Amino acid sequence: MGKAKTVYACRECGATSPKWTGRCSGCGKFNTMEESRVETRTASSNRHANWSGVAQPVRDLKSVIPRETPRVTTGSSEFDRVLGGGLVRGSMLLIGGDPGIGKSTLLLQSGAAIASANRGVLYVTGEESPEQVSLRAQRLGLSEAPIRLAAETDVTAILEMLEAERPEVAIIDSIQTIYHPELQSAPGTVAQVRDCAAHLTRHAKSAGCSIFLVGHVTKEGALAGPQVLSHIVDAALIFEGETGTPYRMLRAMKNRFGAVNEMGVFAMGEQGLEEVSNPSSLFLTQHDQPVPGCAVLAAMEGNRPLLVEVQALVEDSPSPNPKRYASGFETSRLQMILAVLNKHAGVDAFDKNVYLKVVGGVRLTEPAADLPALLAAYSSLSGRPLPRGLVAFGEVGLAGELRPVQDVGARLREAAKLGFTRAIVPRSSQIPKVDGIEVATITRVDEAILRLSGQRKAA
């Protein structure tokens, strides 16, 4: 082994210094020096070499024969869906979410299912004691699961455990509590998280052990830690859920072995997280009478069509600065939609408070949510409900045009399956015929408003 020493490197220009300084001597920028470790390279080993496992010779691309990646089921079809069909051997996965959202519960349930299939599972806890994990396992009815359990925060000790136990799956809860003893910084800092993740990745790739890393999130809901952590792992998953509701959504933000933005839906019950087989029914409200300000979106979450209700409330503002608030929807997109509604449909809402909410705690990011949000705001502003059994989707452009979106057929079939009889979609050459649903194709926002007015009069 080579000798290691602590140096401080600038993340902007790469200049190094034997001690920390507030200003980099290379580029002159402030607060860019970060702690790192440097080892003298020897012929036998290098601390940061071969994170991907054994070194391979250079080959032609055409000579590399792809092979089918075997999958290991996690015991949950929803979890397997998000992972792309199951757990890949030797993969690194990062799962984050708000405190108490159910990250440890999900991984403990999955670890128990994997261990019950005669596969070794090691659960390393850095935030709780083994007794606390055992109490959770008893509440979930998993106290007899053949899981190996350890409480450790030293990454070198964890690596020794992994070498001795040789599990097929390891769970590290959490990466922010793990530290390397040769680094002087505290656990959770950029240097510690980056270095510990790199060591664990090297073991995962060389030993074929799948490793789950539990990660903290910032107050904005993004994964905490250095951005290099998201680059190191094979998959980054976010656990979402609205406070006060039992429903949880697991979404893939990055996945080298499956589709990005794939989503799994769970419900927190007495026996832990339970799968939801028909998530569309969770996000639709059964109104006795049509209510102004409610529109239904046929969304696509990965490969799954999902019907979600979008609600808007528009009211007179007593102050000269009207409020704009959106839950599950970007406020900047709401501002844009209101501007388009005013400019191209003659509907002025600039002097009114506008509130937009996505039912069930779902966060909508795809452009197809623009049209339902616009229709919901118009319905609330006019005080007239949208026609019963109507579903809509489409991207709204700044020129007032409606742009087509993907997977129109899957969206329409899901809407027809749940009893919807009308749909407003952007005009496109790829609109399949679906039995039981009448499709109206439009090209502009003002055309959508006029068509709704005509349907309302006819009704």
> What angle (nearest 5°) sits at the alpha carbon of residue 323, between those of residues 322 and 326?
150
Report the SS3 class of residue 172: strand
Task: Tell me how far apart the alpha carbons of residues 61 and 294 are, in angstroms, rounded to a whole number.
Answer: 53
Residues 311, 453 within the same domain: yes
- Mean pLDDT to the nearest integer, 415-426: 92
Instruction: Specify if 156 maps to a domain.
Output: yes
Residues 117, 192 within the same domain: yes
Instruction: Specify if 50 maps to a domain.
Output: no
Residues 247, 366 within the same domain: no
Closest among 175, 134, 184 to 155, alpha carbons compared: 175
CATH label of the domain that carries residue 234? 3.40.50.300
Helical (H) or strand (E) element with 254: strand 247-255
Q: Is the pLDDT of residue 279 over 90?
A: no
The total of structural domains in the chain comes to 3
Closest among 174, 166, 194, 102 to 139, alpha carbons compared: 102
pLDDT digits (tens, 9 = 90+) for 12-67: 767 778 778 888 877 788 888 887 766 554 444 454 544 444 556 788 888 888 77
Residues 23, 81 within the same domain: no
CB 136 within 8 A of CB 108: yes
Give the pLDDT of residue 38: 61
Residues 172, 263 within the same domain: yes
Q: List, in order, residues 6 or more apart from 244 with CB less than 8 Å away.
A: none
> What are 4's strand-pairing partners?
39
Cis peptide before 380 (omega within 30 of 0): no
CB 440 within 8 A of CB 330: no
E-strand ranges in 262-317 read: 263-269, 272-275, 294-301, 304-316
Instruction: Specify if 336 maps to a domain.
Output: yes
Which of 158-167, 230-239, 272-281 reaches the highest mean pLDDT? 158-167
Of 234, 255, 277, the residue at which a domain comes to its end is 277
CB atoms inside a 10 Å sphere around CB 456: 14
Task: Tell me how far apart the alpha carbons of residues 391 and 238 are, in angstroms, rounded to a whole number.
Answer: 28
Residues 267, 173 within the same domain: yes
Residues 267, 345 within the same domain: no
Task: Tell me how far apart the alpha carbons of residues 293 and 296 are, in angstroms, rounded to a whole number.
Answer: 10
Residues 1, 81 within the same domain: no
Give the pLDDT of residue 185: 87
Tokens representing residue 21 in the block: 């300084």
Q: Is the pLDDT of residue 68 over 80?
A: no
> What are 154's strand-pairing partners?
179
Confidence of residue 457 (pLDDT cuts 50, 70, 90): very low
Q: Residue 18: give the domain boundaries.
A: 1-44
Tokens representing residue 397 in the block: 């452009």
> What are 297's strand-pairing partners?
308, 392
The better pLDDT of the pair 186, 218 is held by 186
> What angle (nearest 5°) sits at the alpha carbon of residue 396, between those of residues 255 and 355?
90
Residues 246, 325 within the same domain: no
Give the pLDDT of residue 74: 94
> What angle (nearest 5°) sits at the alpha carbon of residue 161, between those of residues 157 and 163?
115
Residues 224, 355 within the same domain: no
Residues 267, 376 within the same domain: no
Of 244, 262, 277, the residue at which a domain comes to its end is 277
- pLDDT, the chain, mean: 87
Task: Tell me how far apart the alpha carbons of residues 258 and 75 are, in angstroms, rounded to a whole number.
Answer: 18
Residues 229, 260 within the same domain: yes
Instruction: Specify if 252 maps to a domain.
Output: yes
Q: Is the pLDDT of residue 254 over 80?
A: yes
Instruction: Specify if 65 maps to a domain.
Output: no
Provide the residue count of the chain: 459
- Mean pLDDT to the nearest integer, 332-338: 95
The better pLDDT of the pair 162, 243 is held by 162
Closest among 16, 92, 14 to 51, alpha carbons compared: 92
Task: Tell me how far apart the alpha carbons of residues 326 and 372 are, in angstroms, rounded to a whole number.
Answer: 14
E-strand ranges in 31-132 read: 33-39, 71-72, 87-88, 92-97, 121-125
Task: Tell me how far apart the alpha carbons of residues 230 and 344 are, in angstroms, rounded to a whole number.
Answer: 41
pLDDT digits (tens, 9 = 90+) for 100-159: 889 999 999 999 999 999 999 999 999 999 999 999 999 999 999 999 999 999 999 999
Instruction: Specify if 56 maps to a domain.
Output: no
Give the pLDDT of residue 44: 42
**How buried is 269 (Cβ within 10 angstroms: 0-12 exposed, 13-18 middle, 19+ buried)?**
exposed
Of 277, 310, 338, the residue at which a domain comes to its end is 277
Instruction: Specify if 58 maps to a domain.
Output: no
Instruction: Specify if 390 maps to a domain.
Output: yes
CATH label of the domain that carries residue 299? 3.30.230.10
